[in-house]
Every structure is written in structure tokens, then in C-alpha cells.
Amino acid sequence: MGKLKINGGKRLEGTLAVQGAKNSVLPILSASILIAGESILKNCPDLKDVDAAMAILRHLGCQVTRSGKDIYIDARTLTTSQIPDQLMREMRSSVIFLGAILGRTGEAVLSMPGGCELGPRPIDLHLKALRALGATIEERGGNIVCRAEKLRGAAINLDSPSVGATENAMLAAVCATGETVITNAAREPEIVDLQNFLVKAGAEITGAGTSTITVSGGPLGVQVTHKILPDRIVAATYLSAVACAGGRLELTDIVPDHIETALNCLRNAGCQIQVVGDRVQLSSDGELRAISPVVTRPYPGFPTDAQPCLVAALTVAQGTSVFIETIFRNRYRYVDELRRMGADIKLEGRAAMVTGVKRLTGTSVAATDLRGGAALVVAGLAADGETTVGEIDHIERGYDDLTGALRRLGADISRLA
């Protein structure tokens, strides 16, 4: 695994266009299975997780090519409904293919998705939703075998607003006969993007972005072109970096509403923020003040994925900030690495008390997971001296050209082999 080398303490300044959203392109790549023709996806980020999803589509028999930020999928030649274990292990969120494969072929065989760095990643809500639509599901030797002679529209109430379960339910419901109403659905912007893709394909879906999504099953078209929405978590990452390193950042190609909670936190921490259309401008003198409490919640609450980078930024704030993590059990694995840089963070269950220190000190650290790894980069940019971040494969799952983007802002950062 590669390393990043960062000489911190430099002011950052510049303009960045925000990459397409990983958590939008992945479910939409799955949805392309339902199009018995060509899907053209624009603004796709160049990420390891996207490569893994493309490999799964190719394994299923689809033609998949990439040209720059555009991905072309022809799902007419789909030949199998099974994803082998090693492809499932490449990407934790491969379960997002379940509903589409089942809807398209009447069967889906996937290995049980393992846990991940964030802790167990159960899929009980996914399976409950598919059973409601008429699927029979067996767990056999580590595999999930789903079958459905016929999917029938149903009322699906999710016990909790799971993003992936909402997406799998939508994808299977499009192929069901009759109407499906999903209640307590996740409201993330990526769900809206998935609905927009499916509606372009001829699906009758309404309600994405609210807690109730209604789907009327029916045939889909044979060609869709769709531009992937901007990545709100990557946007919050760059804003957190400039907030603590100090400087000025303009982000373009962004939907400010999608990062409202992160912008409010950064404003309360002392950053100057302006929102102008699809641009956000932040300036910071690097002298932040503590904010509390920051509680992670399903959208439109503060996103769990933006928590690590905001924690990193507040390690050098005046005062003590309190974070409460309500989504993932092992979200704080990156904290030990921040402590190696001199951060003062106390953990008590789901709570993290972050007491600002004057400066962090560069040292060697290792990414524990995708967003925790990004937090170490944020900390390294603000720290005195040199920081090396190892295990950066985690980071490259979700950030397209992080090093290039930060160098364009004046950061002294380079990727070591």
C-alpha cells in the first residue's frame, strides 16, 4: 500500500471542482443492470470502489468501458446472477447489486458481505425489504441465495432509514408488478440521484429525498444518460482541511444544500463562508473555536462520513468540542492515529471529547478506513513538520486525485510508491 508525505503548516488557497459522488455512482452502476441497453454515466470519479463495481458488472456479463469521467454500460449481455466472493470482498457495498440482479434475472447469489473497518455491516433490512416483495432468501454456506419467480409491489417499512436497504428496495420494486411504498426510507441526496436516473429510464418513482418513496413497477427504456451529482463528503473534507490549515477555498460544481450541516459547523467554528449558486467560498485564519455537540444522524442530519475530518480540524481549535456518533460502532478507529500527532481526544462510548491543542506534530500514521484516512491528511496539512500517512488504499477508495487537488491549493503533499 502506498504512502502520502505531507509537510504541514502551509496556508492553502485556490479553487476546486468537487468530484462526482462515490455513494451515488455505485448504486447507479447497479441500476444500469436494469437497462437492457446502454447507460452513459457522466462525472464519475476515478476510485477503487468504482473500479470494483465495474469489475462486478463485467463479471455479470455487461460491457463496461470508461473514457475519462464517463462510464458506458451495456447490460444487454448480462449472463449470470452470481457475484463471486473475491469480487464481493473488493467492496463492502457490493450488496447494492442485490436488488438489481434479482429484479433483472429473478435470482441473485452473493456471498455474505463481511464487516468492514467501521464495524459489522448487517443487511437484515435489505433482506426484509426483498422478502416483502416476494423474494425467497436462503443463507447457504456463506452465500445469500435470493430467488423470486415474480416480484410483487408491497408496503415496505424500514426499521431504520438504511441508505443501502432503501436503494435495494427501489431497484427491486422497479421490476415488481404493482405499487411499492417504502416508508422510513433514507433521505440522502444520493437516493434522489438514483431516483432521477431511474425516472430517466422510464421508471415511475416519486418521493426520494423524503421518508416515503412510491414505485410503480414497469418496463424500462433502453438508453439513459445521467450526470452523477457532486460528492458532499469530499466537499466537506476539503473545507475541513482549509478550515484548520488556514487559507481560502472556493468549491465549484457543488450543491450547497447537501452540506448545510457541515457548513454550519464550520461557520460556528469561526470560518467565513459564502454560498453563491453552486459555489461555496470558505476563508479561515486557522484559529478555530470549539463547537458542541456535533451529533451524526441520517440525512439531513450531520453526516457520519464528514465526522472524522471535522474532528481532525477541531483538534487545534480553542476549547473542547463534543461529537456523538450514532451510526457506526467503530467510527473512531482513526482517533489513536490523531493522538500520535498530539491530538487530545477522549472517547467514551459513542462520544468523543476533542480538546484543542496549540499545534499538531507531524509523524508517521496509518489510515484505518476511508474517512479516517482523510482525517489524517487534514491533520497532516495543519501539523508542524512532516507527516507520512500509510495504508492509503483506504483513502483511494473514495477520493479522486486527493494529492493533486491539495497540491493545487498549495499543499506540500506527495504520494510515495
Peptide bond connecting 300 to the previous residue in cis, omega within 30 degrees of 0 = yes
Whose cell is 468504482? That residue is: 50
**Choices 11-19, 22-30, 281-289, 347-355 (CB under 6 A): range interacting with ligand EPZ:** 22-30
Residue 115 contacts ligand EPZ per CB under 6 A: no
Residue 287 contacts ligand EPZ per CB under 6 A: no
Residue 28 contacts ligand EPZ per CB under 6 A: no
The span from the first CA to the last CA of the chain, in angstroms, equals 8
116 catalytically annotated: yes
| Residue burial 104-118, b: 16+ Cβ < 10 Å; e: rest | bbbbbbbbebeeebb
Residue 296 contacts ligand EPZ per CB under 6 A: no
Spatial neighbors of 67 by CB under 8 A, at least 6 apart, are none
Nearer to ligand EPZ, 62 or 123 (CB): 123
Residue 398 contacts ligand EPZ per CB under 6 A: yes
Alpha-carbon distance of 169 to 187, in angstroms, equals 14
Residue 231 contacts ligand EPZ per CB under 6 A: no
**Per-residue DSSP letter, 18:** P
CA atoms within 13 A on the CB side of 344: 12
The single residue among 93, 94, 105, 168 that binds ligand EPZ, judged by CB under 6 A, is 93
CA atoms within 13 A on the CB side of 92: 18
The single residue among 20, 99, 153, 164 that binds ligand EPZ, judged by CB under 6 A, is 164
Whose cell is 447469489? That residue is: 109
In angstroms, what is the minimal distance from the CB of 285 to ligand EPZ?
Answer: 30
Closest CA to 379 of 3, 6, 1: 6
Beta bridge partners of 139: 144
**Choices 69-77, 123-131, 358-366, 383-391 (CB under 6 A): range interacting with ligand EPZ:** 123-131
**Choices 9-17, 120-128, 258-266, 306-314 (CB under 6 A): range interacting with ligand EPZ:** 120-128
The single residue among 11, 121, 340, 408 that binds ligand EPZ, judged by CB under 6 A, is 121
Catalytic pick from 44, 62, 116, 309? 116
Query: Which three three-digit cell numbers place residue 228?
Result: 452523477
Residue 307 contacts ligand EPZ per CB under 6 A: no
Residue 328 contacts ligand EPZ per CB under 6 A: yes
**Per-residue DSSP letter, 361:** B
Whether the CB-CB separation of 391 and 414 falls below 8 Å is answered with: no
Site string for ligand EPZ, 338-377 (x = CB under 6 A): --------------------------------xx------
Spatial neighbors of 278 by CB under 8 A, at least 6 apart, are 252, 253, 254, 255, 256
The single residue among 23, 32, 39, 195 that binds ligand EPZ, judged by CB under 6 A, is 23
In angstroms, what is the minimal distance from the CB of 45 to ligand EPZ?
Answer: 11
Whether the CB-CB separation of 109 and 145 falls below 8 Å is answered with: yes
The single residue among 160, 210, 252, 272 that binds ligand EPZ, judged by CB under 6 A, is 160
Residue 327 contacts ligand EPZ per CB under 6 A: yes
Alpha-carbon distance of 19 to 34, in angstroms, equals 25
The single residue among 12, 16, 18, 26 that binds ligand EPZ, judged by CB under 6 A, is 26
Residue 331 contacts ligand EPZ per CB under 6 A: no
Query: Which string of DSSP letters, residue by residue, matches 289-317?
Result: B----EEB-STTSB-GGGHHHHHHHHTTS
Count of positions on this chain that bind ligand EPZ (CB under 6 A) = 23
Residue 308 contacts ligand EPZ per CB under 6 A: no
In angstroms, what is the minimal distance from the CB of 168 to ligand EPZ?
Answer: 9
Nearer to ligand EPZ, 180 or 304 (CB): 304
Closest CA to 365 of 354, 376, 352: 376
Residues that bind ligand EPZ (CB under 6 A): 22-23, 26, 93, 121-126, 160, 162-165, 186, 304-305, 327-328, 370-371, 398
Q: Which active-site residues does the annotation give?
A: 116
